[in-house]
Amino acid sequence: MSYSKICIVCDEQNKKGIHVFDHFICMDCHNDLIQTETSEEKYKFYVDRLKKMGENKIYS
């Protein structure tokens, strides 16, 4: 079965990536994320985007 997911970082559809909890991170963002130094400006962008994983969800 081949299907696309929406990346939590770039909001793009992609088939290849990883799942963290209930969220999907595409391989492009994953690779860029692990190569980004904490002193780089884009590091804060990644931190902000990944905060979505900690948001509370209410299921009814």
pLDDT digits (tens, 9 = 90+) for 12-54: 999 999 998 888 999 999 999 999 999 999 999 999 998 887 7
| Calpha distance 7→5 (Å, rounded) | 6
Question: Residues 48, 36, 11, CA angle at the centre, nearest 5°?
Answer: 45
- Structural domain boundaries enclosing 22: 5-50
pTM of the model: 0.77
Burial label, 31 (beta-carbon count in 10 A; 0-12, 13-18, 19+): exposed
- Mean pLDDT, residues 5-10 taken together: 94
Question: How many domains are contained in the chain?
Answer: 1
Q: Is 47 helix (H, G, I), strand (E, B) or coil?
A: helix
- Domain presence at residue 58: no
User: Is residue 10 domain-resident?
Assistant: yes
Look at strands 13-14 and 17-20 and give their pairing: unpaired
Answer whether residue 59 is part of any domain: no
